[in-house]
Amino acid sequence: MQLGTRWTSGDEPPKAVPDALVRGIRSVDETIPADQLGQPRPRWTLTWLEGKPIAELDTGVIVSLDADGEAVVRHDPDDGFA
């Protein structure tokens, strides 16, 4: 696994993030409510596993690409989130 980069949810993803993955990331970012209490937004981590990009949000949401190159959003079952 190769570590990619990190950025804050809602910010523009780095250029290294494939367009299809960006669309999935943005769909998740749109569901995160604006914080009225000044709490920091969660951060994304981009990694590459066997040459395939995977973006994981601090909350456990994972965006990856399926065999057709389309974004797939899921929650890590071991992270405690449903």
Indicate the pLDDT class of residue 75, thresholds 50, 70 and 90: confident
Total structural domains in the chain? 1
In a domain? residue 80:
no
Per the confidence metrics, is the pTM higher than 0.75?
yes
Q: pLDDT tens across 16-58, in order?
A: 899 999 999 999 999 888 776 677 889 999 999 888 999 999 9
Interacting residues of 37 by C-beta distance below 8 A, sequence separation 6+: none
**What is the C-alpha R_g of the chain?**
12
In a domain? residue 82:
no
In a domain? residue 36:
no
In a domain? residue 54:
yes
- Calculate mean pLDDT across residues 51-79: 89
Identify the H or E element spanning 46.
strand 43-49
- pLDDT at residue 82, as a whole number: 42
Q: Report the C-alpha gap between 33 and 42 in whole angstroms.
A: 11
- pLDDT at residue 81, as a whole number: 45
Q: Which domain holds residue 67?
A: 2-31+41-75
